[in-house]
Every structure is written in structure tokens, then in C-alpha cells.
């Protein structure tokens, strides 16, 4: 199986030994604590689950700035985005302290992790601006939810190793879907897969997405597909994870052969960092055992901040050839061809005009679903569409006047 990034073996930071976990939980009750941001909590979950291998905790200011500018830590480890614990107020925490990190996303704010603080540093306004410019590459004329979320956390950086005690709400709310990188690697081995392609999604999968996965599997000669959905915080208006999960599972159940696809999810808040986040997603997938990863148009993008294929060209122009072992499957927009009577990559149909494809805007699809109208079968599987119709109509009932 493909090696994890940066090490021969996966080194998740979750404390699996129950006696040690209990002891740390008890110790945490007597430690100084901070209520971390949702982004910091998500970073802890990813560190615990092995997706951030080989990191041992939160980055220092120097590492974060080095990653932002050069995509490598001070020690030379390739890494595409800073992994930080940012706070507004350090509350007298100092280097050498051992502290408890409390979960902002679970009622009662239980302890998520125990941290050994190695440094307490503050970013200047210019340094925060540098990180947002390099990592998020925002179009200054348009709001950017990732930049807003990053800057809202604060400028004080607490760095150091952590031990993770639980997986926040992900394991309890998504018991059938949330999987650690360790668990996915184990299941891949149990299924006997050797060549595995991963598909990232934060949305339900329409027919074009489904067929793209089939194309990638066929062209790469893959044994299996891992559909890996983001279960964390999204932007307002995105479809909730339970609805996406139900729609994707129905699609796999009906339209994929047995033992050919896994439906899984991971606990992380979307950064909307476009090209840099695409590289981070590749790191996740290498750590969970995938040999290939599908990158399509505007991967991890938002609004008009990125070009359609920026998330592909970054692997050619900025990622060193030996930085990652996972290989990228580059995909164009896929759609139903009226001429060929099947889904194709639009770039592979040069004799087509725009009207030769079945193309529907997201706004149009949402309007149809909200009215109880299924999109055409050339766009969405009817069984998947019905799950989405039920969701949108439930929203309409909630907002309807009494």
C-alpha cells in the first residue's frame, strides 16, 4: 500500500489506549483550558485521525509563515497550508504549560485534546495578510468565507504537540460515515484493493459526478473508489452532511458493483482555499491509502476567486515532483451529451456546442428540487433526486407562514 506522507508508518495522535485516555481526561480537569475555534478543533480531529501525518501538533509562527510562502515547514517538510491553534486571548498561557483544549462544537465543551505549549506568539497584521494572500489567494473585490473565518480566530498562535482524546461530534453524529485515515487504510487492506482512487465532495453527487468516478476507475484500472465527504463546517446554504450522506449512499447502493466503492467522511471545516486546499486534500488521501485522487474544475473553490483549473496546475507548477506519492487524475467538467447519449468530459467532445450538453445551474436545480420537480434523468439519478426533494421541501415547510 502507498506510504503515508512524511513517514513509513501512519502516526495518528489519537490516544487509543483506554487507560491512558482516561488518565489524560482526569488530568485535563485540573489543567488550564481554552475554548478553541471550530477550525482549531477540526485540526485536532485531523491530527488525531492521522490525516495530518506526520505532524505532531500545531505549527509555530515560523512554520506557518514558511508553509504559506514556500509550502514547507522550517524543517523542510512539504505541507500546503498552516495548521494552527489561533486565539484572541492567551489567558496567561505561556511556553511550557500543559493545557486542555475544549471543543466549541459539542454541548458542554468537553476536552478534545491535551496540549504541551511550546510557544506563544502573535502574528502581526502584515503576517496575517501574507498568509491569507499566499494560502487563500483571494480576489480582493469579493468576500471570501475562508479568509473571514481565518481572520476571525485571532492572531495569537499557540504551538506544540497534542494528544487527542475524542473525535468531537463526528463519530457520534456520523457513526456509519466518519472514518479515520487508520480505519480507511485497514478497510482498503481488508477489501484487497491495491489501486485506489479517491473522490472529494462537499455536495451530493449528481450523475456527472458518478460517471466521473466510473471514468477514473476504468482509465486508471482501479480496484476501488473511496468517496470521501467533508462532514465539518460549510458555508451557509450548503446541503447538510446527513442529506449528502443519504444521497451518496443511495447512488452507490444502486449504481456501483459490490466491493467497488466505499462511502466515508472526515471531520474538517472547509477552507475554500482552492489550489492550496486541493494539495492538502491530496495529502489527506495519501495518508488514508489512496493511490490516486480526482481533481476537477474549481476544486475547493468559492465564488470567482480561482481559475477553473488552478487546482490542477498547482501540482505541475508549484508542487515538487517528489513531494507526494499520490497521483492526480485531472478531470474537466462532465455533463450529459445529447449527441452521444452519455456523460462525457466536455473537453473530450470538441465537436459539441454548449447546447449539445444538459447543463443546469445550481440555482436552477435548487429551485426545481424545492418545487418537488426532479431534474432530468440526464442530470440526476431519480432516487438521489427524491432524497434532495424531500430535504428542500422540508425547508419550505419550516419557512412557510403559519
pLDDT 10s digits, 240-264:
888 999 999 999 999 999 999 999 9
pLDDT digits (tens, 9 = 90+) for 257-290: 999 999 999 999 889 999 999 999 999 999 999 9
Task: Please check whether residue 299 lies inside any domain of the structure.
Answer: yes
In terms of residue numbers, what domain contains 133? 18-171
Do residue 229 and residue 251 come from a single domain? yes
Question: Percent of the chain beyond pLDDT 70?
Answer: 97
Do residue 75 and residue 136 come from a single domain? yes
Smallest Cα–Cα separation from 163: which of 313, 11, 305? 11
Task: Please check whether residue 87 lies inside any domain of the structure.
Answer: yes
Do residue 307 and residue 342 come from a single domain? yes
Query: Is pLDDT at 141 greater than 70 in this prediction?
Result: no
Q: In this predicted structure, what is the pLDDT of residue 177? A: 93
Return the CATH number at 288: 3.40.50.620
Q: In this predicted structure, what is the pLDDT of residue 401? A: 59
Task: Please check whether residue 60 lies inside any domain of the structure.
Answer: yes
Do residue 282 and residue 380 come from a single domain? yes
Task: Please check whether residue 322 lies inside any domain of the structure.
Answer: yes
What are the Cα distances from residue 295, in Å, to 13, 212, 223, 277? 28, 11, 19, 11
Task: Please check whether residue 295 lies inside any domain of the structure.
Answer: yes
Q: In this predicted structure, what is the pLDDT of residue 119? A: 98
Query: Is pLDDT at 139 greater than 90 in this prediction?
Result: no
Q: Where does the pLDDT of residue 191 fall: very low under 50, low under 70, confident under 90, or very high at 90 and above? A: very high
**φ/ψ (deg, to 5) at 78:** -65, 130
Domain boundary among the residues 171, 190, 206 is at 171
Whole-number average pLDDT of the chain:
94
| Rounded mean pLDDT, 315-330 | 96
Do residue 145 and residue 195 come from a single domain? no
Do residue 331 and residue 218 come from a single domain? yes
- Report the distance separating Cα 249 and Cα 334, nearest Å: 21
Centre a 10 Å sphere on the Cβ of residue 383 and count the other Cβ atoms it contains.
14
Return the CATH number at 41: 3.10.400.10
pLDDT digits (tens, 9 = 90+) for 38-82: 999 999 999 999 999 999 999 999 999 999 999 999 999 999 999
- Report the distance separating Cα 283 and Cα 337, nearest Å: 34
Would you please indicate which residues are annotated as catalytic (active-site) residues? 202-203
Q: In this predicted structure, what is the pLDDT of residue 157? A: 98
| Rounded mean pLDDT, 225-254 | 88
Query: Is pLDDT at 320 greater than 70 in this prediction?
Result: yes
Three-class SS state of 87: strand
Q: Where does the pLDDT of residue 302 fall: very low under 50, low under 70, confident under 90, or very high at 90 and above? A: confident
Domain boundary among the residues 171, 190, 211 is at 171
| Rounded mean pLDDT, 97-112 | 97
Q: In this predicted structure, what is the pLDDT of residue 308? A: 86
Do residue 246 and residue 394 come from a single domain? yes
Q: What is the number of structural domains in the chain?
A: 2
Do residue 62 and residue 137 come from a single domain? yes
C-alpha cell at 28: 485535563
Per-residue DSSP letter, 73: -
Task: Please check whether residue 12 lies inside any domain of the structure.
Answer: no
Task: Please check whether residue 9 lies inside any domain of the structure.
Answer: no
Domain boundary among the residues 171, 206, 221 is at 171
Q: Where does the pLDDT of residue 235 fall: very low under 50, low under 70, confident under 90, or very high at 90 and above? A: low
Do residue 211 and residue 116 come from a single domain? no
Do residue 252 and residue 208 come from a single domain? yes
How would you classify residue 93: left for phi > 0, otherwise alpha for psi between -120 and 50, otherwise beta? beta
Query: Is pLDDT at 398 greater than 70 in this prediction?
Result: no
Query: Is pLDDT at 231 greater than 80 in this prediction?
Result: yes
- The residue among 171 and 141 whose pLDDT is bigger is 171
Do residue 68 and residue 191 come from a single domain? no
Do residue 90 and residue 190 come from a single domain? no
- Report the distance separating Cα 373 and Cα 389, nearest Å: 7
Query: Is pLDDT at 402 greater than 60 in this prediction?
Result: no
Question: Percent of the chain beyond pLDDT 90?
Answer: 83
pTM: 0.94
| Rounded mean pLDDT, 370-381 | 93
For β-strands 156-164 and 111-116, DSSP reports them as antiparallel
Query: Is pLDDT at 120 greater than 90 in this prediction?
Result: yes
| Rounded mean pLDDT, 291-310 | 90
Task: Please check whether residue 274 lies inside any domain of the structure.
Answer: yes
Amino acid at each position: 500500500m502507498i506510504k503515508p506522507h512524511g513517514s513509513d508508518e501512519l502516526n495518528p495522535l489519537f490516544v487509543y489506549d483506554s487507560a491512558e485516555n482516561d488518565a489524560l481526561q482526569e488530568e485535563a480537569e485540573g489543567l488550564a483550558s481554552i475554548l478553541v475555534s471550530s477550525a482549531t478543533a477540526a485540526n485536532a480531529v485531523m491530527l488525531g485521525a492521522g490525516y495530518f501525518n506526520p505532524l505532531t501538533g500545531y505549527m509555530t509562527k515560523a512554520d506557518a509563515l514558511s508553509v504559506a510562502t514556500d509550502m514547507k515547514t522550517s524543517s523542510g517538510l512539504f505541507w500546503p497550508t498552516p495548521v494552527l491553534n489561533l486565539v484572541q486571548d492567551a489567558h496567561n498561557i505561556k511556553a511550557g504549560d500543559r493545557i486542555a483544549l475544549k471543543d466549541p462544537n459539542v454541548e458542554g465543551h468537553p476536552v478534545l485534546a491535551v496540549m504541551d505549549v511550546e510557544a506563544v506568539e502573535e502574528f502581526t497584521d502584515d503576517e496575517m495578510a501574507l498568509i491569507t494572500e499566499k494560502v487563500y489567494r483571494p480576489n480582493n473585490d469579493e468576500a471570501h468565507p475562508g479568509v473571514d473565518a481565518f481572520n476571525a480566530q485571532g492572531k495569537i498562535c499557540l504551538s506544540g504537540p497534542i494528544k487527542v482524546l475524542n473525535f468531537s461530534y463526528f463519530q457520534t453524529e456520523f457513526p456509519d460515515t466518519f472514518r479515520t485515515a487508520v480505519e480507511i487504510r485497514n478497510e482498503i487492506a481488508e477489501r484487497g484493493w491495491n489501486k485506489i482512487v479517491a473522490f472529494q465532495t462537499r455536495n451530493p453527487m449528481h450523475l456527472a459526478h458518478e460517471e466521473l468516478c466510473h471514468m477514473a476507475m476504468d482509465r486508471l484500472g482501479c480496484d476501488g473508489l473511496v468517496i470521501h465527504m467533508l462532514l465539518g463546517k460549510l458555508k451557509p446554504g450548503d446541503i447538510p452532511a446527513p442529506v449528502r450522506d443519504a444521497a451518496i449512499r443511495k447512488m452507490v447502493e444502486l449504481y456501483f458493483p459490490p466491493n467497488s466503492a466505499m462511502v466515508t467522511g472526515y471531520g474538517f471545516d472547509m477552507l475554500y482555499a482552492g489550489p492550496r486546499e486541493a494539495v492538502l486534500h491530496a495529502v489527506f488521501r495519501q495518508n488514508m491509502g489512496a493511490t490516486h485522487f480526482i481533481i476537477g474544475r474549481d476544486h475547493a473553490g468559492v465564488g470567482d476567486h480561482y481559475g477553473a483549473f488552478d487546482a490542477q496546475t498547482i501540482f505541475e507548477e508549484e508542487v515538487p515532483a517528489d513531494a507526494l506519492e499520490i497521483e492526480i487524475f485531472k478531470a474537466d467538467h462532465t455533463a450529459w451529451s445529447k449527441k452521444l447519449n452519455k456523460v462525457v468530459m466536455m473537453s473530450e467532445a470538441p465537436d459539441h456546442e454548449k447546447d449539445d450538453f444538459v447543463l443546469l445551474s445550481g440555482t436552477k436545480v435548487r429551485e426545481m428540487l424545492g418545487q418537488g420537480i426532479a431534474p432530468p434523468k440526464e442530470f440526476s439519478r431519480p432516487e438521489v433526486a427524491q432524497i434532495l426533494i424531500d430535504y428542500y421541501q422540508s425547508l419550505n415547510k419550516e419557512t412557510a407562514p403559519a
